[in-house]
Chains A and B, each alone.
Chain A
């Protein structure tokens, strides 16, 4: 049973436009959410996170939005750059077990020049 779902396996966006990656979760105990970015032949690297007490967190070109009632979060990248082409994983945890992250399947983002 996938508790964290990324329903789009891939996404293609024009350079300079906005990329929006989506993630849904089912476990209402989750209250901390993270996005990881992964290049080929490398391990995932942390990108941005958000606690459930917030509905938005911004870091440069990256913004994560959290809609707790819909159990949905999204990652916005604007403007998109070719170096953003990677696989993006959404992850969630419950603070009581903050070390135990549950990951989604990942979305492959391709930025076209």
Chain B
């Protein structure tokens, strides 16, 4: 398996633009997590899905952030409109429910909003 795949790896955009980050989970993993990493706060959980259903979105910072998982093999995190303070590395992680508690992380998307 190729592991968790995220795209793009780097995104530079101007304030006010819409940004869409994509994630393809490991096949058979039915839990998916979106995290944001910043220097000050480390890794923060934004939202997670079980079997494509959002379970906990309490970490989503504002209504500008939204996430979807239309099927078991794809998820998106959208920021509209983007702001400079959204600049961070965004990670997607997946987990096989009923297995170990080890979450497998993708390589991340480094987002820069100017």
Contact = CB atoms under 8 A, between A and B. Distances in A.
A100 B48 contact: yes
Given A89-B43, A105-B41, A44 B91 contact: yes
A34 to B, nearest CB: 7
Interface in B14-66: 31, 33, 35, 39-45, 48, 50, 55-56
B107 A42 contact: yes
B49 to A, nearest CB: 10
A43 B108 contact: yes
Interface of B: 4, 31, 33, 35, 39-45, 48, 50, 55-56, 91, 93, 95, 97, 101-108
A102 interface: yes
A104 to B, nearest CB: 6
B4 A43 contact: yes
Given A43-B91, A43-B108, A44-B91, A100 B103 contact: no
9 contacts: A46-B103, A49-B102, A93-B101, A99-B31, A99-B48, A99-B95, A103-B43, A104-B42, A105-B42
Contact of B40 (A6, A89, A105): A105
Contacts, number: 59
Categorize the interface residue count of chain A. 20 to 34
A43 to B, nearest CB: 3
A45 interface: yes
Interface in A73-103: 89, 91, 93, 98-103
